[in-house]
Amino acid sequence: MIRVVLVDDHELFRAGVRGELAGLVEIVGEAGSVAEAAPLIRDLDPDVVLLDVHLADGGGEAVIARVAPERPGVKFLALSVSDAAEDVIGVIRAGARGYVTKTISRDELADAIRRIAEGDAVFSPRLAGFVLDAFRSGEPVGADAELETLTPREREVLQLIARGYLYKEIAARLHLSVKTIEAHVSSVLRKLQLSSRHELARWAHERRLA
């Protein structure tokens, strides 16, 4: 069974998730702060960390920054009620391989954890919207144009995710395999993490001001 560490500063929420995921994954540890989480994840070396975007002492970004260099095999799935795009994009750029909202159903969450553990990227409709917004317009800047823009196909896949389609539905609609869809999403994730696209920074800044 997939070994999962749960990091969230709300005790009640952790209890809820633990109950929901019982039997689907193995919750090997829990932490409520960055300070607790970092050593715990290093010790337990889980497959997946369910990571709250907002923590009292720094947030999900700080956890990833402390743990990832020593435990490159641990995969992070961001989990939040946050509407703030810059926070979500920030955790993704720090290294999380996906983002889902806390209102996600039990089966969808278990499925997302499984996909993350297998190395896929998991985009909720909201994250897909954020990414499309960030890459929406403007000419590519920087030297590596490939990193700065989405291909038409990637854009199409993201749009369908934003519209609430599942990977297999998207695959059927575009006459592609699910593996190909996953490859497109992983490619978008890579661009999101590596792009120096100034749109990303500017856009996050605008959001913060708004």
Q: How far is CA 205 from the centre of its chain?
A: 20
User: 26 near 4, Cβ under 8 Å?
Assistant: yes
Distance between CA 196 and CA 36 in Å, rounded?
A: 32
101 binds other proteins (CB under 8 A): yes
Among 57, 70, 83, 118, binds other proteins (CB under 8 A): 83
198 binds other proteins (CB under 8 A): no
Using CB atoms within 10 Å of the CB of residue 166, give its burial: 0 to 12 exposed, 13 to 18 middle, 19+ buried.
middle
Query: Distance of CA 44 to CAs 41, 73, 100, 111, Å?
Result: 5, 12, 23, 22
172 binds other proteins (CB under 8 A): no
Among 67, 78, 110, 162, binds other proteins (CB under 8 A): 162
Site string for other proteins, 32-71 (x = CB under 8 A): ----------------------------------------
Distance between CA 144 and CA 149 in Å, rounded?
A: 10
CB of 13 to other proteins, least distance (A): 12
CB of 136 to other proteins, least distance (A): 6
Q: Which stretch binds other proteins (CB under 8 A): 13-21, 80-88, 90-98, 142-150?
A: 80-88
Q: Identify the three-state secondary structure at position 10.
A: coil
128 binds other proteins (CB under 8 A): yes
State the first-to-last Cα distance of the chain, in angstroms, to the nearest integer: 43
Size of the residue set binding other proteins (CB under 8 A): 20
Among 54, 133, 156, 183, binds other proteins (CB under 8 A): 133
Using CB atoms within 10 Å of the CB of residue 25, give its burial: 0 to 12 exposed, 13 to 18 middle, 19+ buried.
buried
130 binds other proteins (CB under 8 A): yes
CB of 158 to other proteins, least distance (A): 9
208 binds other proteins (CB under 8 A): no
**Encoded amino acid at 97, one letter:** R
Tokens at residue 146, please? Answer: 């490939």
Among 75, 97, 122, 165, binds other proteins (CB under 8 A): 165
Contact positions vs other proteins (CB under 8 A): 81, 83-84, 101, 103, 124-126, 128-130, 132-133, 136-137, 159, 162-165
